[in-house]
Structure 1
Amino acid sequence: MLWFKRISIGLFSLILLVIGFLYFALRSSLPSYEGELPSEVSQTVEISRDAQGYVSIEGENRNDVAYALGFVHAQERFFQMDLLRRNAAGELSELFGEMAVELDKKRRIHRFRAKAERGFAALPPEQKALLQRYTAGVNAGLTELGWPPFEYGLLAQTPRNWVEVDSFLALYSMYLDLQGSEGKDELAMGLMQQKLPQDWYDFLFQHSPDWQAAMDDSTVSLIPMPKSAYPALLSGQKIACTECSLHDSTDVGSNNFAVSGKRTADGRAILADDMHLGIRVPGTWFKAQLKWQENAESFAVAGVSLPGTPAIVAGSNGHIAWGFTNSTADWSDVIALKLDEKGEKYQTADGWQEFSYQNEVIKVKGQPDELVLQKETIWGPVLSPPFQNYAYRWVAHDPQGANFNLLALEKSKGVKQTLKLAASAGVPTQNLLVADKDGAIGWTLIGALPQRKVQHMDSPQDWSNGQNNWTGYLPHTAYPQIYQPQSGQLWTANSRMIGGKDLELIGNGGYDLGARGQQIRDALSVSAHHNEQSLHAIQLDHRALMLARWQQLLLDTVLTKDFVAEHQLQSYRDYVMKDASQASIGSVGYSLVRAFRTKALELTFAPLTAVLEQNKLSGRDLKFSLETAGWEIIRQQRTDTLPAAFSSWRTLLQQAVLQSKQQLEKEHGSLAAANWGNLNQSAIAHPLSAAVPFFGDWLNMPAMPMNGDSHMPRVQNKVHGQSERMVVSPGKEAEGILVIPAGQSGHPLSPFYAADHDFWLKEQPLGFLPGEQKYLLKLQPKA
């Protein structure tokens, strides 16, 4: 047995050796936090960090500061940056192999790498130089690591250097996150327009009159249910849907709101911003404060940056504070092509045109390259099958859609100046809220606004006669804006912000119901004066006001005495009565009412969803939530609107109770265990954690119950929600709040990997500015 003992000791030693080597490699890839490094800077740049890893960079000029920011981004977040550029360019297969090929093919339709090269070439000299310095810093930071970021070891890959156009690709990746990239919303709406009588189409797909909170006080009225018979297509559909979920709320969105000096005790304006995105490890944003000199003037700007780009995306410069929410207006069009008999040419106002073709080579890890032949028109790319008879026109494809003019906000000194700058910025068009140190507030859209020949259409249009084209982009003088409202408050929450001619100008790209916006507006209105703490409290508001009428429907109409007795639903009814008023982690009643509403709408519109599925679309592709129409249909309970699968409306609603209850019990074991905290457990994971045997969970944030949901200010689900919470008054930044999920670093051994996470989870504030310095790294000019 001596030989067995020796082999066992040898194997154990080998395992220890491998673990030791892996730990050494991981340790060697930690960023540099202290000391001095010779660098390509003109003068000394100081990079300090507080206990949370919040970075402050101070240099003598903006280019050196950009270099240092690139250095820090690469050391802390290079793999995240790499995913951003590869996602936009359609180059993920090079890292992940065959599993990413289909996604890469979708991305290659947009040819974003070529557009990024065009965008960089067109930059003004000052921005081009800044991006070059940022890029040099990124590559220096990557090189300075003793070992490449650990993700590349797991993937058996070597990181590729950053190039200037990659920063454009990071920006295009945000387009893919924030706006539709396949035109499915207009395809779905077009299908419905073809299939339904106009009166029913208008009723089903209307702006919500129940939940609206436009900042200009414009309103829309309920389009009543048509007196004509319900279309048989929507009640007698024989083929059931397999995935019956509907468009209910914007998948990505955000809240921002502001109060002017007339609404604060000391006359200062305050801005709050929480952008809603997918939550992962590391998070989207990186907290940074930048300080530099220029023409004998000192500049300081702080807030959140996007690793891969050199700008502070949302923050404060001491004169203004600004923040964004996704505009969800209409920034793209689907074009129905008129083809010749052979399908080789398409009709335009100038006659028949031949398609152009571009070869796109997809490199696949461990496999031969794949060649994609991308077909294009003068308006934009041709969509993938089965929608190959359509082309896509999108702001993201045009030069106006991507640039780095957002950098101008760093030096802006007032609301009026900032509103004017907004039109020149090449970003996915956002609601921009601004507050300045003199107490003023304002709103406009930031990003390029297309100028259309005709009013917005929600469905594909024929452009062959030249009547539906875009004629360019609007000047800043045509942008809708609000400056210093009489109420002293502004708010946006991805719902309809404005009405009338301004709404016609920007169109509808899938507005959220106004429940969130209304809740924010009303919370602002309750108090005459606000401060940072009161605005932060509104960000955390998880009252379920929109569900109140569904709760009442259950109690008054559905849960009858006989029905409750027959199906032993007394405890169900008790939970519904007791605690359905907010999406709090201990509430069972909220879980039940929410699940009932979802199921009731799915059953009501299952025939409609089935029609979409038969045409390779889904209910989630619709631009409009069916809450308004669904509520009216259920409220009126007309026999002709009842889906054929049910004998009565009472039966449908009771089935919604039983099916949703059964599903919750199946997933959680009992109603008592189906509290909202169990349903809404965080699943904030590193993208590679599933690929790491035994230790993968170590990369993830711990699963925790969370307050909040859709249709309330505290938006939160398992993997989506408030990607930052910021509250700040320009000139009073020391009193502000800034917290992010996870932490600053993407390195699991870093003290900053999860440094913010407990504060974010427990809804506790951190300072808007960096705290006391704990680490100091100096970049010194090379001799």
Structure 2
Amino acid sequence: MARARRVLLGLLLLAGLLALGVWLVLRASLAQLDGVRRMAALSAPVEAQRDARGYLTITAENRLDVARALGFVHAQERFFQMDLMRRNAAGELSALVGPKALPLDKARRLHRFRHRAEVAVAGLPGDERALLDAYVGGVNAGLDALGGRPPEYLLLRQQPHAWTAADTLLVAYGMYLDLQSAQGRDDIATGWLRDQLPSDWYAFLTQHSADWQAALDDSHVTAVPLPAGAMPEMLRVIKAACSDCEPRDARILGSNNFAVSAARGDGDRAILADDMHLGLRSPGTWFKARMRWKDAAGAHDLAGATLPGTPLLIVGSNGQVAWGLTNTTSDWADVVDLRLDAAGTHYQAGDVRKPLTRVVERIEVADGTTVALEVLESEWGPVLPQPAPKGHAYALRWVAHDAQAVNLGLMRLESVSSVEEAVTAAASVGVPHQNLLVADAAGHIGWTVLGAIPRRSGGDPDHPQDWSDGRTRWQGYLTAAEQPKVIDPADGRLWTANSRMIGGEAMKQLGNGGWDLGARAMQIRDDLRAQARLDEAGLHAIQLDHRALFLQRWRRLLLDQVLTADFVAANGLADVRAEVEKSADAARPDAVGYLLVRSFRLEVLKQLFAPLAGLLEAQGLKLADVKMVPETPGWALIQAARPDTLPAAYKTWPELLQRALLDSRQALVGKYGSVAAATWGADNPTGMRHPLSMAVPALSGWLDQTSQGMAGDAHMPRVHNHGHGQSERMVVSPGHEEKGLLVIPGGQSGHPLSPFYRSDHAAWLAGQALPFLPGEVSYRLVLKP
């Protein structure tokens, strides 16, 4: 017995020593928060201060030293995240995680972004290149200063590689892939649909919503009526099953920004709100930083959200101008229909037969192997893998492939002093195209598009186009004077939410890249117009508005036409009707009625468009690829209730609606056990997971952020939908930053042992406002030359 006890104690001691060793190894890779650190290339000492939540303040003698210090801190807190971003864009994940990443790497290599980034770096203006080089030097100094590898590399048994200038531009390319993800599939799918349908049915299905729209200029689109002729059989009869039948607008999440001018802002101030919606993960996307320095123009003091991997303030305020971003969801890529010769090696360009260029991309894999991938390119862009008609191929003409796509031009916003200056600077900024909303200290507000807008000539950008005769093409890019803009609207309010922003010629310039329905933008607009004046708290309240206004017509349809007394009694649906009556008004975590109505709507739309979804899948396409928002034609079909437009699987429209309710209810009960347990919060958890915990679930409790059922959904200002949501919430008035707010999900650090790993998370979950500016200094690191 004594011997067994000694063995047990020895094992416990050994386990304790092993745990201590692991803990010490992990602690060695924590960021240095206090003290003094020598750093090459600095021109003068720099202070990197943090408050109790890790919000960073850098104070330096010049902008280049700020960039060096920011790079140092980014690397120490977020290097693995930065590494994933550059590898994702370059198609180099397999070298880190192994063969399972090969399919993604092959898809990414089509764009040859590593090569394009290296070319773009060589072409940067001198001031941008100097800023980039300073940041890169800081990143590598921060990485070298860690006492050990970041924990993820220990688990992967890999070594981190040094940062390069091209890597920062790869981070920007990664955002292109995230924000402009269609990459031509939408044009191919929409073109296929046009070729299959009579023109009136095609126009009806692909119309933009006349019911839900909120353009900045109050322009409207006209509803396309339901065609009088019979519905084509392909839209009524299921000839091929669909595995991915989800309506497109269920996936659009986007972002919000909105502003009020001095005429509408409390204290005669312009105030800006911004919440960018992205996939949520741990750590989050953004890193909060305040940056202060002096130069010949005077003192600079910027604060807001930075993106690890880049030296720039992405959204925030410089004290004179505040800016926020949302994805435009406009059309930044065209598909060129290449006419090939019989051998498939050349294509026609005017009177000339030009050869397709063959480039071999070599993908390194962590197991030591190398995979060769051949990429075909035309003068207009790479050849897409999607099948084309015999004798043809599809090439992608995408802004992301041009020299204008990436640069550090966003640095120009750091020194602008007015809305006019900011709007003028927007055209030269190389980023994935964003709705830029700006407010200045004089009380003005403005909107334009951040990024280069192609000048299209001829053709229809919604479908594959023949460019071989030279009449259809891109003729460079619009100048700053030609960019669409709205400055100081009469009612003193601006808003964008990924839907159609503007009408007329400007709408044609931007094009439809899959605009959101407009319900979210309309709710924001109406919230803004409901009050004569708003302060920071009022704008923050709009960010948290999760009323389900969009779903109310579906709720009424369910109560009036489906949940009749006889149907309820025959199917035991009294609990369903009671929940729909009492809890479908908002996307609250405890709301059962909201989830019931939401699920009913999606099931109805799935049933309506299942024939089309199946046919598209048979072509290697998806319903979600088509530039079509099913809500608009779907609702029109339901309201008309014509027998000749009813899907062939049903005898009457009431039968379709009833079956959709029963099927959606059954799915929820099967998932949650009962109707009462099917709350929106149960269906819509936070879901902020670390990439490695998905591969090693045992680490979930250590790596993932606290999860709870979340309020909000896709078609309301507070967006949260199954792991996608508000990646930051910011409200700020330039010149009055002390009154603003800024909160991110998760926290500042990517290291699970850091005190900042979850520092903002509880406030973000609760919808609590945290100060826009850093708080009292808790940690001070001095970087010396």
Relative to the length of structure 1, the TM-score reads 0.98
Residue 619 (structure 1) aligns with: 623
Output the CA distance in 2 between the equivalents of 1:690 and 1:713.
29
* Residue matched to 1:278: 279
Residue 294 (structure 2) aligns with:
293
What letter is aligned with 1:314? Answer: V
Please report how far the alpha carbon of residue 351 of structure 1 lies from its aligned counterpart in structure 2 after TM superposition: 1.6
Counterpart amino acid of residue 214 in structure 1: A
1:114 corresponding residue in structure 2: 115
Does the residue aligned with 1:225 lie in a helix, a strand or coil?
coil
Q: Which region of structure 1 is more displaced relative to structure 2, 167-176 or 634-643?
A: 634-643
Alignment of 1:388-407 (within 5 A): 389-407=393-411
What secondary structure does 1:530 align onto?
A: coil
Deviation of 1:17 after TM superposition, in Å, equals 3.1
Q: What amino acid maps onto 2:511 in structure 1?
A: G
- What amino acid maps onto 1:376 in structure 2? E
Corresponding residue to 2:434 among 430, 435, 439: 430
Pairing of 1:104-253 with structure 2 (within 5 A): 104-180=105-181, 182-249=183-250, 251-253=252-254
Q: Does 1:767 align with 2:767?
A: no
DSSP-derived class of the 1:476 partner: coil
Match of 2:514 among 510, 514, 531: 510
Q: After TM superposition, list the pairs within 5 Å mapping 1:180-579 onto structure 2.
A: 180=181, 182-249=183-250, 251-295=252-296, 297-386=298-387, 389-454=393-458, 456-579=460-583
**1:754 and 2:758 matched:** yes
Q: How far apart, in 2, do the equivalents of 1:697 and 1:481 lie?
A: 47
Q: Distance in 2 between matches of 1:326 and 1:192?
A: 26
- Structure 2 CA distance for aligned equivalents of residues 224 and 195 of structure 1: 19
Alpha-carbon separation, structure 1, partners of 2:251 and 2:435? 15
Structure 1 CA distance for aligned equivalents of residues 435 and 423 of structure 2: 11
* Shift of residue 181, structure 1, vs aligned partner: 5.0
- Partner deviation per Cα, 1:395-421 (whole Å, 9 max, x = no partner): 000000111100000000000011000
Tell whether 2:607 aligns with 1:606: no
Cα pair distance change 1:415/1:693, threshold 3 Å: closer
Q: Tell me the secondary structure at the aligned position of residue 389 of structure 1.
A: strand
Please report how far the alpha carbon of residue 182 of structure 1 lies from its aligned counterpart in structure 2 after TM superposition. 3.2
CA separation in 2, counterparts of 1:75 and 1:265?
40
User: Any stretches of 5+ residues in structure 2 without a counterpart?
Assistant: none
Q: Quick one: distance in 1 between partners of 2:444 and 2:596? A: 44
The structural deviation recorded for 1:717 is 1.8
C-alpha distance in structure 1 between counterparts of 2:464 and 2:364, whole Å: 34
State which drifts further: 184-193 or 683-692: 683-692
* Code of the aligned partner of 2:124: L
TM-superposed CA distance for 1:690, in Å, is: 3.0
| Structure 1 residues 265 and 340, CA gap change in structure 2 (3 angstroms) | same
Cα deviation, residue 149, structure 1: 0.6
Show CA shifts across 1:630-654 (max 9, x none): 0000111111111111111111110
| Paired residues of 2:386 and 2:620 also in contact (CA < 8 A) | no
**8 Å contact 1:28–1:145 — kept in the other structure?**
yes
* Residues 27 and 749, structure 1, Cα contact 8 Å, conserved in 2: yes
CA shift for structure 1 position 110: 0.3
Q: How far apart, CA to CA, are the structure 2 residues paired with 1:269 and 1:297?
A: 24
- 2:637 is the alignment partner of 1:633: yes
Identity between Structure 1 and Structure 2 (%): 53
8 Å contact 2:582–2:593 — kept in the other structure? yes
AA in 2 matched with 1:492: T
AA aligned to 1:393 is R
Per-residue CA deviations over 1:21-80 (Å, capped at 9, x if unaligned) read: 211111111100000111121101000001110000000000000000000000000000
1:684 paired residue number? 688
Partner of 1:28: 28
Q: Is the 8 A contact 1:455 1:505 kept in 2?
A: no
Q: Does the 8 Å contact 2:183/2:333 carry over to 1? A: no
Contact kept, 8 Å, 2:543 with 2:718, in 1: the verdict is yes
Give the superposition deviation at 1:483: 0.7
Task: Give the counterpart of 2:734 among 684, 706, 730.
Answer: 730
2:517 aligned counterpart, secondary structure: coil
Q: Does 1:57 align with 2:35?
A: no
Q: Which amino acid in 1 is paired with 2:332? A: W
| Partner of residue 651, structure 2 | 647
Q: Is the 8 A contact 1:264 1:530 kept in 2?
A: yes
Q: 1:318 touches 1:733 (CA, 8 Å); kept in 2? A: yes
Q: Distance in 1 between matches of 2:466 and 2:33?
A: 58
Amino acid at match of 1:125: G
Question: Does the C-alpha gap of structure 1 residues 736 and 456 become closer, same or farther in structure 2, counting only changes over 3 Å?
Answer: farther
Structure 1 distance, partners of 2:261, 2:116, is 40
**1:264: Cα distance to partner?**
2.0
Write the letter of the residue equivalent to 2:588.
S
Deviations 1:164-199 (A, max 9, x none): 110000010000110025311111101111111110
My pick for the range that moved more, 378-387 or 737-746, is 378-387
Cα separation, 1, equivalents of 2:252 and 2:661 = 26
More displaced 10-residue stretch of structure 1: 334-343 or 752-761: 334-343
Q: Is the 8 A contact 1:177 1:252 kept in 2?
A: no
Q: Following the alignment from structure 1 to structure 2, what is the Cα–Cα distance between the partners of residues 63 and 478?
A: 33
Shift of 1:11: 4.3
Indicate the residue corresponding to 1:89 in structure 2. Answer: 90
Distance 1:157 1:146, change over 3 A: same
Q: Distance in 2 between matches of 1:91 and 1:283?
A: 21
Offset at 1:293?
0.6
CA contact (8 A) 2:252 2:714 kept: no
8 Å contact 1:415–1:436 — kept in the other structure?
yes
**Could you tell me how far apart the structure 2 residues matched to 1:6 and 1:345 are?**
79
Contact 1:258 1:433 in 2 (8 A): yes
Stretches of structure 1 lacking an aligned partner (at least 5 in a row):
none
Segment drifting more, 107-116 vs 337-346: 337-346
Within 1, Cα distance between the matches of 2:459 and 2:440? 35
What is the total number of aligned residue pairs between the two structures? Answer: 781
Number of the residue aligned with 1:699: 703
Alignment partners' CA distance in 1, 2:23 and 2:32:
17
Whole-angstrom CA distance in 2 between matches of 1:286 and 1:772: 18
Give 3-state SS (helix, strand or coil) of 1:490's partner: strand
Mapped partners of 1:530, 1:97: distance in 2: 52
